[in-house]
Structure 1
Amino acid sequence: MTGVEVCAVVLAAGEGQRLRPLTELLPKALCPVGNVALLDRALTRIAGLGLTGPARVAVNAAYLAEQVVAHVGDRAHLSVEPDGPLGTSGGIGRLRGWIDGRGALIGNADAYLADPRREPGKDIAALLEGWTGDTVRMLTRPMPEGATGGFSGHRFAGFSLLPWRYVRVLPDQPGNLVRTAWRPAEAAGELELITYDGLYVDTGTPADYLTANLHAAAGLTDPTATLTGRATESVIGAHAAVHGTVTRCVIWPGATVHEGETLHDAVRAGENLTVPARVDSMNRLTTPIRLIAEETA
């Protein structure tokens, strides 16, 4: 696809503040979508491009880093940020020695991408096709009509590609790629926007996280789950127990929905942690309402 040597970095250091209290239990990168950790979805997508193993793939970690480190194991090079997340730019800057002259394919672990072809990696392969190593490339989706910001009417869709000459000057300190790489490349006429034809969801809010799950696997119940109640258009995780009624919900692995409980458009974790999301008149998930730790009635 490209004659330039490329490595991959999955950014998994963020705190996921908007997903609290779920992310008090798991780092955002390990939150399951369709019963698969977001981080594993990213690693599978990158593997579809032939990028595997600690020599070619790196994962950074900061918030609840021990969980990320244990989950990744020897599948990738691990870069731990002990003083807290360095942001998208600082995380790459800290990996300069490992990247070592290569181009860097960078993906956000919390990005949910769904390509209709269902071929891992093929959907983002256009980022690498014909790349000379001179430009910054960004996977994008067209912005909704009337929306502002973005890049020439497009918004970032989870993955970007940086040449070494951009990587080598990134400082090992807090910062984001918008300011240190993407905007400078845009100003220099060196930013290429690659349109992504599939669905992209930034899973940063409870509503968007639920949207991604329902798109990925609505109606999925793990074989190890116990279902004595009723589940409609929901995702039920491993060893979960649903004795009540759930509709358009995500029930995390090991979670319980008690007899007599009714949940709608929500995420349940543990025995009684419920994170709801509001639904508009067209039955579409919108902005999240409050996050609550709910005692079982």
Structure 2
Amino acid sequence: MPGATQTDLVGVCLAAGAGSRLMPLTLERPKVLCPVGGRPLLSWALDALVGVVEEVVVNVHHHPAMMLEYLSWAVDTERAGGGPTMQFWRSFHGQRHERPVVSSLRSLGSLVGAARSPDVSGMPAGTGAPSPTIQVVASVEGPDALGTAGALANLARHLDGRSVLAVNADSVFDADLADVVAAWDGERPLVAHGGRDGFRPGVPVVASITPWSAIEALPQSPSGLFGHLWRDAHAEGRLQSVQLDSPVLDCGTPASYLAANLALFGGATSVEVGQVDATGAGDIARDNPGDTVEPHEGVTRSVLWSGARVGPGERLDGAVRTSDGRTVLVRPVPSAPW
């Protein structure tokens, strides 16, 4: 039966990756909690699933304490599209990031969908209509991260016959996942992707639907969906490919991460919700994630994380300044990807 209802599908935010290509930023936070457009990447993925499915499972491995605290904050807070304060992030300063020893499943509560950020470089604004909710469950993976295929197999008992709508939580996209679900034929695995050349290795995958029959056959060990399902299904004509005619912002490297932020703010400096200590210019609080703020006359084309400090007379261009004071320079400074 084409398409699916909200109860037929469980949403999964794939958020357990190490983010090794984004180092050294991921020494401080997991990749999906690095801010893009003023808020953590993960919040974009969660909001995309609200109203499409009734439940979302977020898989967790790297920085588990921070991830679980963020998810707990998200279900308890009127987010309005933003993120935690700088005090939240600074509370993890100096902590060792222990990895989970065993796998576990935790129900965290109900998350209210946030309106999208105001229109910036083609990304649509929220309508102001009441937001639906979604139940959030954390799937803590240990002792190893299970990859995109192992993560779904690990959830088999919880899924109990339901199929999965999975979203990669490490990119920002402008696609309505309800349209993706409506396009599904109800039988084959589906991959929704960006790009102009059809499905192939390396294509930017936005979302996928894995039917229960395929989940049952996946290994409960570290493994990927491409190698264990998509490649053979594509070769045999059993993969439903949906090409999305909308922007997809990859954030896998410092250069692409900076480019994504610049795209969402029209080339201006992106400031995470919270406060930036711009010594000599006063502290600046960002109440609205769509605001464009130049916190210091010497800061251009950069990203400032919550709690980042900018000294008097300091100049930053094409840089990422983190909450803990790390500075990552990107050369050449990238242009916006669209």
> Are residues 1:129 and 2:182 paired?
yes
User: What is residue 192 of structure 1 aligned with on the other side?
Assistant: 240
Query: Does the Cα contact within 8 Å between 1:241 and 1:254 map onto a contact in 2?
Result: no
User: What is residue 314 of structure 2 aligned with on the other side?
Assistant: 261
Give the letter aligned to residue 261 of structure 1: E
User: What is residue 246 of structure 1 aligned with on the other side?
Assistant: 299
Deviation at 1:226, TM superposition (A): 5.1
Alpha-carbon distance in structure 1 between the residues aligned to 2:26 and 2:274: 25
Deviation at 1:244, TM superposition (A): 6.0
Secondary structure of 1:279 counterpart: coil
Q: Deviations over 1:77-113 (max 9, x none)?
A: 1111121311111111111111221111011110211
1:225 to 1:156, Cα distance in 2 relative to 1, 3 A: closer
Give the letter aligned to residue 13 of structure 1: A
> Are residues 1:42 and 2:54 paired?
no
Q: Deviations over 1:168-200 (max 9, x none)?
A: 111110111101111121123111111112111
Give the letter aligned to residue 107 of structure 1: V
> Are residues 1:103 and 2:163 paired?
yes
Alpha-carbon distance in structure 1 between the residues aligned to 2:189 and 2:232: 10
Query: Does the Cα contact within 8 Å between 1:102 and 1:164 map onto a contact in 2?
Result: yes
Secondary structure of 1:165 counterpart: helix
User: What is residue 113 of structure 1 aligned with on the other side?
Assistant: 173
Alpha-carbon distance in structure 1 between the residues aligned to 2:294 and 2:180: 42
Q: Deviations over 1:193-230 (max 9, x none)?
A: 11112111221101111111122235455574455559
1:182 to 230, 251, 263: 230
Q: Deviations over 1:85-142 (max 9, x none)?
A: 1111111111111122111101111021135xxxxxxx23232114342111111223
Query: Does the Cα contact within 8 Å between 2:168 and 2:205 map onto a contact in 1?
Result: no
Alpha-carbon distance in structure 2 between the residues aligned to 1:204 and 1:130: 28
User: What is residue 293 of structure 1 aligned with on the other side?
Assistant: none
1:88 to 1:34, Cα distance in 2 relative to 1, 3 A: same
User: What is residue 91 of structure 2 aligned with on the other side?
Assistant: none
Secondary structure of 2:203 counterpart: strand
Alpha-carbon distance in structure 1 between the residues aligned to 2:67 and 2:325: 25
Secondary structure of 1:97 counterpart: helix
Alpha-carbon distance in structure 2 between the residues aligned to 1:178 and 1:250: 33
Give the letter aligned to residue 70 of structure 1: E
User: What is residue 12 of structure 1 aligned with on the other side?
Assistant: 15
Query: Does the Cα contact within 8 Å between 2:274 and 2:307 map onto a contact in 1?
Result: no
Give the letter aligned to residue 160 of structure 1: S
1:139 to 192, 215, 235: 192
Query: Does the Cα contact within 8 Å between 1:142 and 1:153 map onto a contact in 2?
Result: no
Alpha-carbon distance in structure 2 between the residues aligned to 1:168 and 1:19: 33
Deviation at 1:250, TM superposition (A): 0.3
1:105 to 1:224, Cα distance in 2 relative to 1, 3 A: same
> Are residues 1:2 and 2:15 paired?
no
Query: Does the Cα contact within 8 Å between 1:226 and 1:241 map onto a contact in 2?
Result: no
1:67 to 1:177, Cα distance in 2 relative to 1, 3 A: same
User: What is residue 64 of structure 1 aligned with on the other side?
Assistant: 63
1:3 to 1:20, Cα distance in 2 relative to 1, 3 A: closer
Q: Deviations over 1:214-265 (max 9, x none)?
A: 22235455574455559xxxxx999x99556111100000011111221111
Deviation at 1:152, TM superposition (A): 5.5
Alpha-carbon distance in structure 1 between the residues aligned to 2:149 and 2:241: 19
Q: Of the two structures, which has the highest relative contact order with CA contacts closer than 8 Å and spacing of 6 or more?
A: 2
Alpha-carbon RMSD = 2.9
